Amino acid sequence: MKNPETSDFKHIGNKLLNWYKKNARDLPFRQTKDPYKIWICEIVFQQTRINQGLNHYNNFIKRFPDVKTLAEADEDEVLLHWKGLGYYSRAINIHKAAKQIMTDYNGSFPLEYEEILKLKGIGKYTAAAVSSICFNGKMPAVDGNFYRVLSRFFADDFDISNSKSFSYFSQLATLIMPENVGDFNQAMMDLGSEICKPKNPLCGECPINDDCLAFSMQKISDYPVRTKKVKAEDLALTYYFVHRNGQFLIQQRKDDFIWKKLFEFLPEISTELEQFIKGVKTVNHKLTHKNLSIEIFDVEVGSSSVWKALINTNQYIISDFENFHEKSFPKPLENYIHNF
């Protein structure tokens, strides 16, 4: 087992396929080979658990049932239908990729792995998943599930934070990969999320536990090995909730930082408006690699003339409490409006 390259592990992949045939999760996107729907599901569930994101996926597909519909939609509407999934750059990228498909591939989803990889926002994992599931491609869809299952199966201490981990575990995957790569990739996804969990794995229910080295050595918790952990950065933000008679002012964020293209309160105000500050609230919010401390000042403009001048001399967007849900706000700002 110290030189797995010299051994034959194809029977492991076949065990996984047999297990998958009997235990595959009944999910709507598994009833289709439509590459558009498989692509959307893979992007949705990259950062979202299936039980949390399923309704979002169904609603998104209902509104944008095909590439053409998505490509022709307004970006703000795409962002609105992504609401609740977070990581909004994913929505921006799939919108751009849909336009790519219409322009560069005449509206037909590309068939080959290398061509799929050219689409905006699609990485090696997603390209391999779509290629294998829809077009019988032969690339393993290596993600965190693969890292975890393979490192435990081979008791392999290769550091998954290493920049070469994708290539390394892709090679390991090919050792056990059967001919039906599409079902194999989905079997590994199900095994990693349902059985070989990061914590409290259900080893007794695992179809390959007889061959798993970490299980036989009772060292499951030692794998996978990760030495580098990304430290979350502290970030302070300031907003001014400028409002009058049920209306408030917002603007759209650019796409060069967090919360790309979402709507936000004003990040600064003129000295003239400072007299209208009624109070301030601090909101803490965690992103994947950032700890946010957000100060939100309540600015109730008491002067009709100041309000009109403010609107006339700036390109702010006017929203109100009744219709704000038609825009996509970062979660902490949306909560602030709800609770105001």
Catalytic residue ranges: 42
Show the CA angle centred on residue 50, arms to residues 46 and 51, nearest 5°.
150
Q: Which residue has the tokens 């795409």?
A: 78
Structure tokens at 233: 């950065």
Q: What is the 3-state secondary structure (H, E, C) of 113-137?
A: HHHHCCCCCCCHHHHHHHHHHHHCC
Q: Is 256 exposed, middle or buried, given 0-12, 13-18 or 19+ CB atoms closer than 10 A?
A: exposed
Least Cα distance to 103 among 139, 76, 68, 154 occurs for: 68
Structure tokens at 134: 């829809």
Q: What is the 3-state secondary structure (H, E, C) of 235-289?
A: EEEEEEEEEECCEEEEEECCCCCCCCCCEECECCCCHHHHHHEEEEEEEEEEECC
Rounded Cα distance between 109 and 128, Å, is 14
